């Protein structure tokens, strides 16, 4: 369960533990953000964001090759994930949520962050992370 103002991400797992995800919000609402981290892609480094909420009940499929994060917009927001691979801590990587190179408008400047998210690496270091 997340409080409003919590930001998580931008997370992904490297091969051979890369994951695709199907996400939705069960309770509350969240700004969901994905970043294309596929070097060969024409949209490499670009992001996509949308609001997911428990009223609309929309789901978002996030293929392998994308970093994922979200901002809880309401207290008590609950996210649900279905993943194509198990969580593997040694394969997890985190891109800095507010890296200026990504120009993501999260609508917040001083969110609550986990230690893992505070330690995110700049997007420019992505090649060294994979």
Domain count, the chain: 1
Note whether 69 and 10 are within 8 A (CB).
Answer: yes
The set of catalytic residues is 11, 81
- pLDDT on residue 76: 93
**Can you give the pLDDT at residue 128?**
76
Strand 47-53 and strand 78-83: the pairing is unpaired
Cβ proximity of 115 and 68 under 8 Å: no
* CATH number, position 35: 2.60.120.10
Domain limits at 23?
7-114
Whether residue 78 is contained in a domain is answered as yes
From CA 94, how far away is CA 120, in angstroms rounded? 5
Which ranges constitute the DSSP H helices of the chain? 115-118, 126-129
Give me the tens of pLDDT residue by residue for the chain, a chain 130 residues long: 666 789 998 999 999 999 999 999 999 999 999 999 999 999 999 999 999 999 998 999 999 999 999 999 999 999 999 999 999 999 999 999 999 999 999 999 899 999 999 999 999 998 777 7
- Token digits of residue 66: 């994308």
């Amino acid at each position: 369960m997340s409080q409003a103002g919590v930001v998580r991400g931008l997370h992904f797992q490297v091969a051979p533990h890369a994951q695709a995800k199907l996400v939705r919000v069960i309770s509350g609402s969240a700004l969901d953000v994905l970043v294309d981290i596929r070097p060969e892609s024409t949209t490499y480094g670009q992001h996509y964001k949308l609001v997911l909420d428990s009223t609309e009940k929309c789901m978002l499929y996030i293929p392998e090759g994308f970093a994922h994060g979200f901002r809880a917009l309401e207290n008590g927001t609950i996210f649900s994930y279905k993943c194509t691979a198990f969580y593997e801590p040694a394969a997890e990587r985190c891109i800095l949520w507010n890296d200026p190179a990504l120009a993501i408008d999260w609508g917040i400047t001083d969110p609550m962050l986990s230690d893992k998210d505070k330690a995110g690496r700049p997007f420019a270091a992505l090649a060294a992370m994979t």
